[in-house]
Amino acid sequence: MHVHVRYGGGEAVFEVEQRVELRESQGLKVRELAKAEELATEHRGLIIQKWHECFNR
């Protein structure tokens, strides 16, 4: 279970199932990655809920 984050031409993928963990990134600055991780952590429950709604129909 993961979420893609896109910003300013860059992209990161965070695993969210057990905990929020950066899987890969390209073209994002350290500060942007930190903010993305913060948001993913803050909204982890919603991300998981939407994942199940989308993929477990």
Output the DSSP codes for the chain.
-EEEEEETTEEEEEE-SSS-EEEEEES--HHHHHHHHHHHHHTHHHHHHHHHHHH--
Q: What is the pTM of this model?
A: 0.89
Tally of structural domains, the chain: 1
Percent of all residues in the chain with a pLDDT value above 70, rounded to a whole number? 98
What's the mean pLDDT in 25-37?
A: 97
Domain that holds residue 10: 2-55
Q: Examine the pLDDT at 57 and tell me if it is beyond 70.
A: no
Whole-number pLDDT of residue 56: 84
Q: Between β-strands 10-15 and 2-7, what pairing exists: parallel, antiparallel or unpaired?
A: antiparallel
Integer Cα distance of 14 and 21 in angstroms: 5
